[in-house]
Amino acid sequence: MGTFKVFKSLVIDSLDTITKGSKRYHLWMGFLTLVMLIGMYCYSIQLEEGLSATGMSDRVSWGLYISNFTFLVGVAAAAVMLVMPTYVLKDLDFKQAVLIGEGLAVAALIMCLAFVVADMGEPSVLWHMIPGIGVFNFPNSMLTWDVIVLNGYLFINISIPFYILFKHYQNKEAKKSVYVPGAILSVFWAVGIHLVTAFLYQGLQARPFWNNALLGPRFLASAFAAGPSLIILILAIIRSFTAFKIEDKTIKKIAMIVTVAAQINLIMLISELFKEFYAPTHHSESAYYLFFGLHGKNALLPWIWTAIPLNVLATVLLTFNKLRNNLKVLYFCCFILFVAIWIEKGFGLIVPGFIPGPYGKIVEYLPTGVEIGVTIGIWALGAFVFTILAKTAIGIELGELYYKDKNTST
């Protein structure tokens, strides 16, 4: 009963915090709400007309939604790069960053699930996918694995921070014996979600562009570059807008992670390019399409040729200690790296898988306005969720938010 009362008070208090704030905060939330509403409107059009409202077709049957889904799984998985040092290696530096990281993971996962639902042709029978009431094609279908690991990861990433914050809210210390095993589990789990998501594509013999043993490891490397980049940017914003203190040291340590991951990612990219272009086979056609266009069809060229230079530039800049330790340069690098990987692991990965088609037919894909609207709406949803989570967490950590027991008699 006592716990319940504390919980109720926490809910009320956090509602209080998230509805109050500076003018800027209200503007931000209002803006996000507006974007979300536009996204919902676009989604209602899609529900009404069917997926023909999107740019997808029988020839390119996955597009912007699945691209974003894939990328965001990586972002979610990357939160673990902060969890590990803090909880497991007892590196106190990361302590503040970690709650933010896990909040980010939760927001990213919610976006992932939203993208998957948005991509479904028949969302009204989605219950067919719920184990127990539907029919779950486990273990044959990698998609069922993905459903399990994503939801499991969501659960872990909600429960650990919640436990810690709940204790801090009552001004108690969180018990290590409770959250450390959870944290260790989430480390393995994070690698799992990303590998399983890669296997989703890697396991299709029909699509040579994906059916490639390097896909999984490359997913991990790029995720551990893009995710922490985003975390650095967010920490920078939080640092300048709230009283929450984040040391330079923390940011620099995360920057180290980004750098190593970006370097590994670049090596793998070179390996992939070598394989595709040194001795090109029929199976290299997708890569040709992506990088050079095929038979005059070249819709992806501007994208990939933005991504590759940005990726190389960021990696090179980050490699030099002097430049990396300059926060302005670091933020810039993180930003371009994030954009580069979003293109590469989203659009640049999903769309060429379908081009050329099974019989060599080239039909290009361009997202429609509706599709873009839904996508931006879901990103706004993610930002909205994250802002709420972060604001509450920061409130509790700063001690602004604590449990005021009205009948403290003993």
Partner 1 sequence: MSDNKKWYSLDLGLNNKKESSGTCGCGKTEGSCNSSPKEEELSADEFYEAAINASIGEERHRDGFEQVFDVKMDRRSAFKKLTASLLIGAGAVTTSCSVTTGSDTKEKAQIDWEEQFKGNYKLMTDEEKQGTINRLMRSYELRTHKKINMTAENAAEDVLFGYAFNISKCQGYMNCVSACVEENNQDRNSEMQYIRIHEMKDGEGFKFNKADDNYYHEVPAEGHFYMGTQCFHCDNPPCVEVCPVQATWKEEDGLVVIDYDWCVGCRYCMAACPYDGRRFNWSKPEVPEQEVNKNQHYLGNRMRKKGVMEKCTFCVQRTRKGKNPACVEACPTGARIFGNLLDPDSTIRWVLENKKVFRLKEDLGTEPKFWYFMD
Decide: 99 and 250 in contact? Cβ < 8 Å: no
Q: List the one residue from 30, 181, 203, 302 that touches partner 1 (CB under 8 A).
A: 203
Q: Of residues 329-388, which lie at the interface with partner 1 (CB under 8 A)? A: 353-354, 356-361
For partner 1, the closer CB: 21 or 357: 357
How far apart are the C-alpha atoms of 72 and 182, rounded to whole Å? 22
Question: Is 213 near partner 1 (CB under 8 A)?
Answer: no
What's the closest the beta carbon of residue 50 comes to partner 1, in angstroms? 4
- Enclosing H/E stretch for 136: none
DSSP state, 139? Answer: T
Note whether 207 and 201 are within 8 A (CB). Answer: yes
Q: Is 123 in the site for partner 1 (CB under 8 A)?
A: yes
Interacting residues with partner 1 between 219 and 258 (CB under 8 A): none
Structural element, H or E, at residue 79: none
Chain centroid, CA 222 distance in Å: 11
Shortest spacing between CB 114 and partner 1, in angstroms: 13
Closest C-alpha among 361, 393, 33, 69 to residue 223: 69
Quick check: 352 and 300 in contact, CB under 8 A? yes
Closest to 392 in 3D by CA, of 100, 24, 89, 79: 100
Q: Which of 129, 185, 233, 376 binds partner 1 (CB under 8 A)?
A: 129
**Which of positions 251-290 make contact with partner 1 (CB under 8 A)?**
285
Instruction: Give the single-character DSSP code of 122.
Output: -
Any contact of residue 319 with partner 1 (CB under 8 A)?
Answer: no
Contact segment (CB under 8 A) with partner 1 among 50-58, 67-75, 266-274, 301-309 equals 50-58
Instruction: Please report, as residue ranges, which positions from 56 to 75 form the binding site for partner 1 (by CB under 8 A).
Output: 56-58, 61-62
User: x/- site string to partner 1, residues 182 to 201, per CB under 8 A?
Assistant: ------------------xx
Report residue 192 as tokens. Answer: 């799992």
Residue numbers at the binding site for partner 1 (CB under 8 A): 49-52, 56-58, 61-62, 116, 119-130, 132-137, 140-144, 147, 200-201, 203-207, 285, 353-354, 356-361
